[in-house]
Structure 1
Amino acid sequence: MKPNVWRKLQNTREYLKYLRIALHVLFWLIIFFFFIYVKKPLMGLSLGMTALVEVKDVIIISSIFYFLSYYVVPKLLFKRKYLHMALCLVLVYYFYAFVAFVEYSLLPRFVDIPGKGYHMYAQRLLNEGVVGILRLKDAPEILLDLSYLLSPALIMKLAVTVLNLSTQAFKLERDNLNLELAFLKSQINPHFLFNTLNNIYSLTLDKSDNAPAIVLKLADLMRYTLYDSNAPSVPLEKELLFFANYVELEKIRHTKRVTIDVEFYGNSDGLSIAPLIIFPFIENAFKHGINKSIKRSWVSIRLGAENGVLKAEVGNSRFSPTPTEREKEKNKGKKVGGIGIANARKRLDLLYPHAYTLNVVEDVSSFLINLTITLK
């Protein structure tokens, strides 16, 4: 990793670290003022004296909260160390109970507290002394008091945890989607390269004068498939130019027995599309409509955009010779039509859910695909 990149990464981490600390401090300040607002009427003290008393509450409650959040839950609960967790919870209870006992024993000696509710609660806690605390005589009241003070922090922690889990689930879903899209695209590029190289090989064997021109066209096409198509979306105009170059390559390869009719129309300015998402339909039209036929054959392609909607009509002639027994055995268990159309459907489902229509019309002599995509 380059030094400047590493430095930027460190700066980002430092920034996030200090931001996290600042947010925690801000949160406990809010809790501090909340405690003052609640306890001032109960104790009957001035604002300043109530604030001094509540400093103790914030320190004690924050200590218990971080102990539970960063040790008990992740280290014990999630790892199913239930005995250790139970011992820690008992420790938390006695810690808070003894702190409360010390407060109610000493604070009234130094501060005149008018609030009757405060003295009634303190008297119940002090009646049995330390022995009463050890015997858990006032456990319900102590636990209720502790839960009440901890609840704001625990609710916030729960909300943050749920939000983080949702974010992680969304990120995992997005990463899985990207992996699947990358896998589907990786099947397109080698497939196209394999078919075209086979055609070039056949032409070189025949010493055809068209071979150099096809190599140049192939270089342009592969540059697009290897580099430009790596982006999530490309300008529609560039994608249509890729199709035009591909068709020109096919025209060079085929003889006059093949009729290739291509039309590009509409306005593609400002529109983008997922790269190579339509290409399998065009490729299959040539592969299955022309390459397997020894008779006169045809391919018809109409591509255009109107009002942000891309329309594609791709048709080809069909020729279905009777396969030999050897071919039947070779193709046994294979899906007719290859992986191109199936992958195109999957990519359409992933990238344009509820924003495309795909209709296939076929008979004994023709195969036609009508595709519309609402582009963003």
Structure 2
Amino acid sequence: MKKLSDIKHYQLYLWLIPGFLVLNLLEDLAQQSGNFPARMVNEVWLVIFVSVVNYRLLEHTVPKLSWKKAFSGFFTLLLYGFAYSIGLFLWRALGLTLHIFTALGEPVPLEDRIGTLLGYSISAILFFAVIRHLYLHFKLKRDAQQLLIVSQQAELNYLKSQTNPHFLFNTLNNIYSLARDKSDLAPESILRLSKILRYMLYETGEPYTAVEQDLKIMEDYIALEKLRYDDTLRVSFNYDLEDMRQSLPPLLLIPLVENAFKHGASETREAPFVDIHLSIKNRQLYFVVKNSTGDPVGNGNVQTQIGLSNLRRQLELLYKDYSLDVQQGNFQFTATLKINLASHV
């Protein structure tokens, strides 16, 4: 069974051969040479020969050449030079014998005839070699881009496979703490968890989803987190969206919200708070999450959390124009995310 690359090379020559033939016919027309039908048959006859020799030279001989076999390679190229000079002359003579090729114009000396055919052969080699080189160059570039896309998508899926269970396990821990305390809020928390699970299983398979879907899950998650706290926790969640159907990668914003509760409010003893604001206008996303912390100054460890590190990498793979800034001051942590949604890769 032939390789797919060989089949594509055959397809390349199916375009190269007619292209070279058309160029020679256009040259004959430009020169206003007489007896054009006979000249067309002559061109077809010569193109058959140079096409076969060029294919053997470019696809089988040249790829096998190396400096280690320079001596044998030199004689191989000499053989092809003989095939182009004498071989094309003999091919022309065979066409005359079979009454396929028609001698046109005045008879010329043998050396001039061979010289003319050699020039014809050189132009054929240059045409085939240059077009083939350009084809392989653009094909290699296209294949590299496709491979990059595939590898980036695989990495993106891997990051999601890390982030989603991480998010889910934290949510289960919240329910566990309620169940352990035999809280009456446990059934409500399980109901909200079922909504989150349904969304993660059935709505996050596509690369993008409507932002309103993520907002609903975010609200369920916030409500689920609030069940763990008493009235001392202050949560503010507001958004300003010009289009609720604006597309966004599913669960892209959740890590910042999750981080605010897990590493912020849960570690704050006095007056814990979480402030969340989302704005999308003119394809510009602005997302700010502020939360209280238990430390007077930041130690930088929060940036190494799996949620934030994965979010940074996802942003690199998804968008060209974005910024994620995290700042920790006295008992307060702020994460600011800006994305130009039109800059998606």
TM-score class normalised by the smaller sequence: 0.7 to 0.9
Aligned to 1:242: 217
Q: What is the identity, as a one-letter code, of the residue corresponding to 1:301? A: I
The answer to whether structure 1 residue 102 and structure 2 residue 102 are counterparts is no
Shift of 1:24: 4.7
Give matches, 1:1-376, under 5 Å.
Answer: 24-25=13-14, 27-38=16-27, 46-74=35-63, 76-77=64-65, 86=74, 88-102=76-90, 113-115=104-106, 119-120=108-109, 122-124=110-112, 144-320=119-295, 337-354=304-321, 356-376=322-342
The question of whether the paired residues in 2 share the 8 Å contact of 1:40 and 1:46 is answered with no
Deviations 1:317-341 (A, max 9, x none): 110399xxxxxxxxxx977651211
Q: Distance in 2 between matches of 1:60 and 1:106?
A: 11
TM-score normalized by the length of structure 1:
0.76
> Can you list the C-alpha shifts for 1:141-163, whole angstroms capped at 9, x where unaligned?
87654221222222221221111
Is the contact made by 1:43 and 1:113 (CA closer than 8 Å) also made in structure 2? no
% identity of equivalent residues: 30
Secondary structure at the counterpart of residue 60 of structure 2: helix
User: Residue 131 of structure 1 corresponds to which residue in structure 2?
Assistant: none
**Conservation of the 8 A alpha-carbon contact between 2:89 and 2:117:** no
Q: CA shift at 1:281, angstroms?
A: 0.8
- Whole-Å separation in 1 of the counterparts to 2:27 and 2:160: 61
SS in 2 for 1:264: strand
Cα 1:235/1:86, change in 2 over 3 Å = farther
Contact 1:45 1:114 in 2 (8 A): no
Contact 2:255 2:307 (8 Å CA) reproduced: yes
| CA displacement at 1:100 relative to structure 2 | 3.1
Q: Matched residue of 2:23: which SS? A: helix
The TM-score with structure 2 as length reference comes to: 0.82
How much has 1:86 moved relative to structure 2? 4.8
Provide the rounded CA distance (Å) in 2 between the counterparts of 1:286 and 1:102: 86
Q: How many residues align?
A: 333
Contact map agreement 2:49 2:91 (CA 8 A) in 1: no
Provide the rounded CA distance (Å) in 1 between the counterparts of 2:126 and 2:94: 27
Q: Which amino acid aligns with 1:51?
A: M
Letter in 2 for 1:123: E
Q: Report the alpha carbon displacement of residue 256 of structure 1 after superposing the two structures with TM.
A: 1.6
Taking the aligned partners of 1:209 and 1:360, their CA distance within structure 2 comes to 37
CA separation of 1:151 and 1:367: change in aligned 2, threshold 3 A: same
CA contact (8 A) 1:214 1:249 kept: yes
Q: Distance in 2 between matches of 1:200 and 1:297?
A: 20
- In 1, Cα distance between the equivalents of 2:186 and 2:166? 20
**Runs (5+) with no aligned partner, structure 1:** 1-12, 127-137, 323-332
- SS class of match (1:311): strand
Matches of 2:333 and 2:139 in 1, distance apart? 50
| Contact map agreement 1:43 1:115 (CA 8 A) in 2 | no
Question: Does the CA contact (< 8 Å) of 2:296 and 2:329 recur in 1?
Answer: no
Deviates more, 1:144-153 or 1:231-240: 144-153
Q: Deviations over 1:92-117 (max 9, x none)?
A: 3333333234257678898553257x
Check whether the contact 1:302–1:312 (CA below 8 A) recurs between aligned residues: yes
SS of corresponding position for 1:268 = coil
CA RMSD of aligned residues (A): 3.5
User: Structure 2 vs 1, CA of residues 156 and 83 (structure 1 numbering), >3 Å: closer, same or farther?
Assistant: same
Q: For 1:255, what is the secondary structure of its paired residue?
A: coil
Pair 1:123–1:20, CA change in 2 (3 A): closer
